[in-house]
Every structure is written in structure tokens, then in C-alpha cells.
């Protein structure tokens, strides 16, 4: 597994000529939830196509600290076994490494009747509350208390199915409550559930483990609780955010890329907006081909829950719009602080003003290489994309954020024609 070292720096040569073919890796957000689901059974769960990224490493360490076994098999698959779980208390230093880790709570509570964890870490992209998770557990009969820095959920007699309303269709909240509900007594209805493709994939995986979930893909999930789940073998879906990032790389540089395995059938919002900029995109059974064109047309967008344009692609798309002809308006409707990338792009010459959750981008402005920071995983992707299009050399600090979410990044960048050096 890769080592998690903070810091790190990329030196990126600008005016990259992008071309060739890149295979899209397994989806970070699907892999992390699927790993947590392994806590629901004492049998082996084998996950194929789990990306080699540091968020996977830190969650693997967390699962091991609970007593689970996690190992990479010779064929690259991840084998998890939670038969030896010895504690349901997540160590704070590991929980704080990424937000997905709080999703150990639901499976632990559902299976063992007890779970404790500090609030999760992850990107600094605004307030990331967990009230939806906790009120779901409480609705099913758990008693949740705050003890010091930790949230402790207790249901010694087990959880009871009920009707759970999610105040916001939180992705990890839906997954957490759903993983608790599959082992609850009776029937649970989750109203206002998240419908993201990764949530749907988790539902299918849980059903393969014996769970009874219906309404998959809708905002209303119906779950009949069962007594025990079995192991399974599942394949992690390709990462729509990674695919989207490289599609934008092709367009911002006026290049072209074939994105093997790109899950274009769950990327409608992005493809619609990229085509509106003038890009040509063709899709087929093996993936999708993206070709940028000049001039890039300005487009406005809102970042929304699925099937809207993913908030994780807001910053990368914002970088693209600095090269578009005209004024573009961006509204962020999911997180309240997705604008970290704006200040970094401005250092490179971009004309962007942000006001709260909106940004106005005027373009095209020539970007020039300078020293910038990857402030979170997607803000990091935005400066990386800008660096590819810029004149001169850009130094990007704190690229450990990019390693959290992008597999084999150096190799992929070089394959597509970016001159990059890691220092």
C-alpha cells in the first residue's frame, strides 16, 4: 500500500499537448463505502478494482485497528474479513484522516449494538455535519451521546426498523443508516435518500450479501432487516469524478483523450456541459472519447446532488471556465466552502470572483505558472488542470491531497502527455 506522507510537490510544465488513452480507476467513494460494508459479516468480502489511493490505505488501517483483516491479494483485489472485530471504538487519529471513515458507525452499530467515533475528517469544504447519520441511528432505537470528542451510539437490544427522514440527501449519511438498517428488526424506509451511483452500487453489494433493499436509485429506500449477512465478491465501479477530471483535461488543453471504462452513463450532467463548451464526446462500450475545441464557450452550471453536476467536479470545471470565451456563473448547492480553489487560480491569472457559494468567471485569461497549493483533493485537481493549460511551469504544493483520490497520478499524467515531476 502507498505511504501517507503529507506535503509533496508537483512541478508541472504548462501548455501540455494532451492525447492518448487512460484507464479510469475504481471509484474512491464506492470503494470506501464497500470496505465499511465488510464489517457487516464475519465472512470474506473481496473487492476488485479498489484504487491504490491513500484514502483506501487510511480506511484499511482503521478497519485493522478494529480487529478486521484487510489485505491486497496477488491479483490486486482487496480481501476484508471482520470475523475478529475486537472493538467498536474507532481511534480518533485514524477517523480524522478521511470523512468516509465515519461510515464504520452504521455497520458496527447494526451488527454489534455499539459504535463510537470522533467526528470524521476529510476535506475542508465547509461544514460537514453528521446530524443526518445520528438522527437515523436514533430513529432506529439507538441512544446516541456525546462523550468528550466522541459520538457513542448504543443499541444493546439491537436496532428496530422504522421510517427515517433524511433532512438532506447525504451520501455517506444514507449509506451509514442503510448499513445499520440491513440488520435491524423489521422494515426501514429511508425517505429523501441520496441517489448517487455509488450509493446504488452499495445497495447492490449489500443485496448480494443477503440484504433486502428495494427502491435502489430512488429517493425512497425500502429495507427488510435480516439476521445475518454473508460474504461476497464485488467489483468497484469506475470513478466518474476521475473520468470527469481527465475529460476536462482534454478540453482545457484543446487536446483529446480516450477514457477507457469511463462510466459515461452516470455522467450526463458533465457531458451535457462539456458539449456546451464546444467539446466533442463520443461514448461506446469501452469508454468515451473527448476532444476539446477552440474557442471554448462559456457555460454556467450548478453543482447539485446526483443526477446534477457533481460537486466534486465544480473546482475542475471552474478551472476550465477560466479558458472559456465569456462570463460563466457557478452556483455551489451542496457544500458551503467549495471555493478554496478560487484564490489559487487567481494567483495563476484567472479572473474569478466568488461570493459565498457562487463564482463568476471571466475568460479567457492567459494562465501563467506560479507556486500554488492543492488545498483539497478537488481544489488540487483544479490547479493541476490549470497548470496543464498555463504558460510556463507551475509548482503545486501539498499534492498529498491529490494522492487521496487519484490513483497512479504521475503515470497517468505522463501517459496523457503532461511533463510532471514529483519532488
**Least distance (Å) between residue 99 CB and ligand UD1:** 5
379 touching ligand UD1, by CB under 6 A: no
130 touching ligand UD1, by CB under 6 A: yes
Instruction: Report in angstroms the alpha-carbon separations of 126 from 353, 375, 390.
Output: 18, 13, 29
Binding window for ligand UD1 (CB under 6 A); candidates: 67-75, 121-129, 146-154, 316-324: 121-129
Please state the length of the chain. 423
Residue 139 is placed in which grid cell?
A: 430513529
**Cβ-based nearer residue to ligand UD1, 49 or 170:** 170
311 touching ligand UD1, by CB under 6 A: yes
Asked whether 241 and 310 are in contact (CB, 8 A), the reply is: yes
Of 24, 27, 32, 108, which one interacts with ligand UD1 (CB under 6 A)? 32
Task: Give the HSE-up count for residue 290: Cα atoms under 13 Å, Cβ half-sphere.
Answer: 33
| Size, binding site for ligand UD1 by CB under 6 A | 22
Neighbours of 257 (CB within 10 A): 27
Of 16, 18, 24, 29, which one interacts with ligand UD1 (CB under 6 A)? 29
Asked whether 401 and 409 are in contact (CB, 8 A), the reply is: no
Binding window for ligand UD1 (CB under 6 A); candidates: 46-54, 67-75, 129-137, 218-226: 129-137
Binding window for ligand UD1 (CB under 6 A); candidates: 62-70, 126-134, 319-327, 346-354: 126-134
Residue 176 is placed in which grid cell?
A: 451509514
192 touching ligand UD1, by CB under 6 A: no
Give the separation between CA 160 and CA 183, rounded to whole angstroms. 9
Of 133, 373, 401, 404, which one interacts with ligand UD1 (CB under 6 A)? 133
**Cβ-based nearer residue to ligand UD1, 363 or 405:** 405
**Cβ-based nearer residue to ligand UD1, 95 or 100:** 100
Task: Give the HSE-up count for residue 66: Cα atoms under 13 Å, Cβ half-sphere.
Answer: 33
**Interaction with ligand UD1 in 336-375: which residues (CB under 6 A)?**
none
100 touching ligand UD1, by CB under 6 A: yes
Contact letters (x/-) for ligand UD1, 383-402, by CB under 6 A? --------------------
93 touching ligand UD1, by CB under 6 A: no
Q: Is 32 left (phi over 0), alpha (psi -120 to 50) or beta?
A: alpha
Contact letters (x/-) for ligand UD1, 151-190, by CB under 6 A? -----------------x-xxxx-----------------
128 touching ligand UD1, by CB under 6 A: yes
Asked whether 249 and 385 are in contact (CB, 8 A), the reply is: yes
Nearest partner of 338 among 322, 319, 363, judged by Cα: 319
232 touching ligand UD1, by CB under 6 A: no
**Least distance (Å) between residue 133 CB and ligand UD1:** 5
The phi and psi torsions of 358 (rounded to 5 degrees) equal -125, 155
25 touching ligand UD1, by CB under 6 A: no
Local structure of residue 243 (DSSP, 8 states): H
Q: At 382, which helix (H) or strand (E)?
A: helix 377-389
Give the separation between CA 213 and CA 308, rounded to whole angstroms. 24
57 touching ligand UD1, by CB under 6 A: no
Neighbours of 356 (CB within 10 A): 10
**Least distance (Å) between residue 118 CB and ligand UD1:** 15
Residue 89 is placed in which grid cell?
A: 471504538
**Residue ranges that bind ligand UD1, judged by CB under 6 A:** 29, 32, 99-100, 127-133, 168, 170-173, 194, 196, 311-312, 334-335
Amino acid at each position: 500500500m502507498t505511504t501517507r506522507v503529507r506535503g509533496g510537490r508537483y512541478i508541472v510544465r504548462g501548455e501540455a499537448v494532451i492525447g492518448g488513452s487512460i484507464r479510469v480507476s475504481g471509484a474512491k467513494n464506492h470503494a470506501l463505502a464497500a470496505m465499511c460494508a465488510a464489517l457487516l459479516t464475519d465472512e470474506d468480502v473481496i473487492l476488485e478494482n479498489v484504487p491504490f489511493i491513500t484514502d483506501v490505505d487510511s480506511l484499511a488501517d482503521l478497519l485493522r485497528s478494529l480487529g478486521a483483516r484487510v489485505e491486497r491479494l496477488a491479483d490486486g483485489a482487496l480481501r476484508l474479513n471482520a470475523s475478529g472485530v475486537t472493538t467498536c471504538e474507532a481511534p480518533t487519529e485514524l477517523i480524522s484522516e478521511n470523512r468516509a471513515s465515519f461510515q464504520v458507525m452504521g455497520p458496527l452499530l447494526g451488527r454489534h449494538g455499539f459504535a463510537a467515533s470522533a467526528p470524521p475528517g476529510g476535506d475542508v469544504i465547509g461544514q460537514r455535519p453528521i446530524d443526518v447519520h445520528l438522527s437515523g441511528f436514533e430513529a432506529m432505537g439507538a441512544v446516541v451521546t456525546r462523550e468528550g470528542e466522541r459520538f457513542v451510539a448504543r443499541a444493546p437490544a439491537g436496532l428496530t426498523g422504522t421510517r427515517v427522514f433524511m433532512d438532506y440527501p447525504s451520501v455517506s449519511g444514507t449509506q451509514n443508516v442503510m448499513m445499520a438498517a440491513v440488520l435491524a428488526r423489521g422494515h426501514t424506509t429511508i425517505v429523501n435518500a441520496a441517489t448517487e451511483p455509488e450509493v446504488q452500487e452499495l445497495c447492490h453489494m449489500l443485496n448480494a450479501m443477503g440484504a433486502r433493499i428495494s427502491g435502489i436509485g430512488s429517493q425512497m429506500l425500502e429495507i427488510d432487516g435480516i439476521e445475518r449477512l454473508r460474504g461476497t465478491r464485488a467489483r468497484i465501479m469506475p470513478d466518474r469524478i476521475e473520468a470527469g477530471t481527465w475529460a476536462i483535461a482534454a478540453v482545457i488543453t484543446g487536446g483529446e483523450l480516450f477514457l477507457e471504462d469511463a462510466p459515461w452513463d452516470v455522467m450526463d450532467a458533465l457531458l451535457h456541459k462539456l458539449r456546451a463548451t464546444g467539446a466533442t464526446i463520443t461514448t461506446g462500450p469501452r469508454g468515451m472519447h473527448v476532444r476539446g475545441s477552440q474557442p471554448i464557450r462559456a457555460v454556467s452550471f450548478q453543482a447539485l446532488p446526483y443526477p446534477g453536476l457533481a460537486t466534486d467536479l465544480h473546482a475542475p470545471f471552474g478551472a476550465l471556465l477560466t479558458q472559456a470565451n465569456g462570463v460563466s456563473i457557478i452556483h455551489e448547492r451542496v457544500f458551503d466552502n467549495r471555493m478554496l480553489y478560487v484564490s489559487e487560480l487567481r494567483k495563476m491569472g484567472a479572473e474569478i470572483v466568488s461570493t459565498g457559494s457562487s463564482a463568476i468567471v471571466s475568460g479567457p485569461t492567459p494562465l501563467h505558472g506560479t507556486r500554488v497549493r492543492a488545498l483539497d483533493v478537488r481544489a488540487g485537481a483544479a490547479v493541476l488542470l490549470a497548470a496543464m493549460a498555463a504558460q510556463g511551469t507551475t509548482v503545486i504544493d501539498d499534492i498529498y491531497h491529490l494522492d487521496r483520490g487519484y490513483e497512479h497520478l504521475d503515470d497517468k499524467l505522463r501517459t496523457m502527455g503532461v511533463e510532471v515531476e514529483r519532488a
